[in-house]
Amino acid sequence: MRKKALLSAIAALFVISLSSTAQELSFETAKFHFGDNPEWKNADFDDSSWQDMQTVMRWDDQGFPGYLAEYGWYRIHFNISELLKTSDYKSALKIYCGRIDDADEVYINGRKIGKTGGMPDSETGFATAWKEDRWYVADLKEGFVNLNGDNVLAIRVWNEDGDGGMYHGPVTMQIPSKCDAMEYSLKEAVENGQSCIKVSITNPIKEKQKGCFKLMVHNPETGEIFDRLETTLTIGWKQKKVFTFPLPERGYCRVDMNYTDVNSGTSRSYSITPKYILTPDEPLAPRFNGAMLFGVRPDSPVIYRIPVSGKRPMTITSADLPDGLTIDSENCCIGGKLSRSGEYRFHLHAQNAEGAADTELTIRVGDQIALTPPMGWNSWNCWGLSVSQEKVISSAQAIIDKGLADYGYNYINVDDAWEAPERNADGTIAVNGKFPSMKGLGDRLHSHGLRFGIYSSPGDRTCGGYLGSLDHELQDAQSYNEWGVDYLKYDWCGYVRKHATEVDRGTVASYVRPYMLMGEYLRNQPRDIFYSLCQYGMADVWKWGYAVDANSWRTTGDITDTWESLEDIGFKEQRELYPYGQPNHWNDPDMMIVGKVGWSDNLRDSRLTADEQYTHISLWALLAANMLIGCDVAQMDDFTRQLLCNHEVNAINQDILGRQARPVVVDGRIEIWARELADGTMAFGIFNRGEKDATVDISRYADFYPGDNVTLRNLWIQEDVPAGTTSFFVPSHGVKLLKTK
């Protein structure tokens, strides 16, 4: 598999994790003023009467709520004379400004050094960039930064909506040394039939660099060393040195590097973990991979794609198929309708040239349509507002072609940006030119047993500024039914304006109302429409989501492909939510951020490291989270495919007891999250949120330890853990996902 992974993902670029020892200045507070005045960028402006504002927390969170459509300025006074002494390069000042909700412009001593997002008064107009990290660089050779005295960093901020201001800081400043400037990259490749990694080091500085470069390719878990190198390099401006190493066939491997500048002695260490596949190759004979439990309302269409992997062609038959149902063996799906409530159990037999498999499927006809968390795809994290019907079909086709549908991924959800600018004359919702036919799209998906999802808002506009459903809720629910929609994501966003005019605004009732309304209309349609609430957890939605018949509710703001975002959303914000997730009503920590994402036409590899991606999927499995793929499936490499298609891992997510995991051990940065499973066993993840690898002895946690006589299963590699093992290696930001047997 590793060779295949490499061939299909030739030259995938990896993010380098840098352990830098560079000195820095750090600012957790700044002088601050709401409003806007061009004078405030200047060094000589007197801000002594301004209030203090933290740079690490949004306005709302530090007692300044409601500053919507508002400017504000932060001013930080700084002196770099001491910092200069720590650098052998002294050419640039690198500034981190955390994240800013929504857009900003940055000045030093009145000189603009950069901007992120778009200010409403700029030529291109407003554009939010609230989740982007802000890095700015000031050229120290240009003379506007005072090297020996006071300077002022002034940050002009615009908040369109949301909580406003700078967060995720503190603001930090560094003056890079020469060795900080060196650029590293790692590519996977195949040379002479051998999988290998190519590590390159480039000098971007306009002078020759001489340094000692050390490198080790190893498995930190087993201590095995695959390769070592130690060499002295002399690299000219823009020159690149490339080193090639064979890659072990399978399993964990890490590349540790160290570079020391010979003149200054300054040294930096770097570490990269290439994408490593743990999921064993799939057998060619048929294998059923899903929960084999499906909920549908009486008389609603059954649209069920049979999750079965194995070589095609394959025939699927049932000797005891209930009346009213049909099997389309070629497209691997079951259709039809069942009128009477109750439990229908029947057998499925799959046969191909390599073998056969049998299973029992239960269709439960009743009120509940999401007996296990939804699995599928959503367009947002990859295409953002640039989504089109063509792009949706391309990912849907790839879900089938790459065999992800064989693991239960079956919802294909169009997020924002399918709507026309205006409704039709009769008030019905219209689509824009990127979506030639919604009904056609629905029919096409259904013919493959896939289900069709769509997006709207209870407001007049969506988050992306497209038409919402306000005052047209019934008409929209009816249109969805006509198009064959099976899933609605209903996103608060534009409702904020209506909410602001309501007399009971801020009460739970005011948050429930718009969702109650649409919930009722959806339920009255003659088909099952999964109802996905998206209002970021306001008014503790997990406490009342079930009452509006929601099948899931987003518990947090939007996720992005960084460790910080994954940590906040996956760990910190889910700790208390385990009592609220249950069959038919799931907590939704947002869509997955693996594979090629980008929220636009510019896709990139997820910025999560391989270890972080294992953490992500393990955690989503334990949390009984919606498993919605957020990347372009057509461009999915084998690493991501294997990450998403491990049937033992997915079985945890799809476990029919529907118990969400909770943290049972918190020991510094080590956390164990566990969930009970339908068969009486327990799944748990040992997570290492720290910056260093750890070896965790679970027998130390007496309240949690399952006992010496319990056999454990290592789910990612699908092997039993050798008897007597209680200690587990868990890489920094990584996980061991285990299950008792």
* Residue 57, amino acid: M
Nearer Cβ to ligand GLA, position 40 or 553? 553
User: Does 380 interact with ligand GLA (rule: CB under 6 A)?
Assistant: yes
Q: Does 476 bind ligand GLA (CB under 6 A)?
A: no
Query: Considering beta carbons, is residue 87 or 128 the nearer one to ligand GLA?
Result: 128
Contact (Cβ atoms closer than 8 angstroms) between residue 119 and residue 203? no
**Of 175, 217, 5, 193, the residue nearest 86 (C-alpha):** 175
Q: How far is CA 377 from CA 17, 169, 391, 592, in A?
A: 29, 33, 12, 9
**491 lies in the site for ligand GLA, by CB under 6 A:** yes
d(CA 715, CA 655): 14
- As given in the structure block, the two tokens for residue 320 are 């005891």
Q: Does position 113 bind ligand GLA by CB under 6 A?
A: no
Instruction: Decide: is 415 part of the binding site for ligand GLA (CB under 6 A).
Output: yes
Helix (H) or strand (E) holding 616, with range, is helix 610-622
x/- map, 322-361, ligand GLA, by CB under 6 A: ----------------------------------------
> Catalytic: 558?
yes
- List 47, 227, 558, 567, residue binding ligand GLA (CB under 6 A): 558
Catalytic residue among 491, 605, 611, 632: 491
**Catalytic-labelled residue, pool 47, 256, 540, 558:** 558
3 state SS for 177-236: CHHHHCEEEEEEEEECCEEEEEEEEECCCCCCEEEEEEEEEECCCCCCEEEEEEEEEEEC
Residue 416 or 612: the one with the smaller Cβ distance to ligand GLA is 416
Q: Which residue has the tokens 């005052």?
A: 471
User: Quick one: which segment of 285-293, 306-314, 338-346, 456-464 binds ligand GLA (CB under 6 A)?
Assistant: 456-464
Q: Does 308 bind ligand GLA (CB under 6 A)?
A: no
Q: Give me the least distance between CB of 132 and ligand GLA, in Å please.
A: 14
Helix or strand run (H / E) with residue 711: none
Please check whether residue 463 is in contact with residue 494, taking contact to mean a CB–CB distance below 8 angstroms.
yes
Stretch that binds ligand GLA, among 142-150, 461-469, 640-648, 679-687 (CB under 6 A): 461-469
Cβ proximity to ligand GLA, 195 vs 457, nearer residue: 457
Binding residues among 689-708 for ligand GLA as defined by CB under 6 A: none
For residue 220, CA distances in Å to 159, 266, 695 come to 45, 26, 11
561 catalytic residue (yes or no): no
CB atoms within 10 A of CB 421: 9
Residue type, 120: P
Q: Are 42 and 289 spatial neighbours (Cβ–Cβ below 8 Å)?
A: no
Residue 561 binding ligand GLA, by CB under 6 A: no
> Binding ligand GLA by CB under 6 A: which of 70, 101, 188, 416?
416
Nearer to ligand GLA, 400 or 550 (CB): 550
Spatial distance between the Cα atoms of 510 and 585, rounded to a whole number of angstroms: 21
Residue 462 touching ligand GLA (CB under 6 A): yes
631 interacts with ligand GLA by CB under 6 A: no
d(CA 5, CA 641): 9
Q: Segment 509-538, which members bind ligand GLA (CB under 6 A)?
A: 534
Measured from each CB, the residue nearest to ligand GLA is 463
Q: Under the criterion CB under 6 A, does residue 174 sit at the interface with ligand GLA?
A: no
**Residue from 463, 566, 674, 712 binding ligand GLA (CB under 6 A):** 463
**Which residues lie near ligand GLA (CB under 6 A)?**
380, 415-416, 455, 462-464, 491, 493, 534, 558
Residues with catalytic function: 491, 558
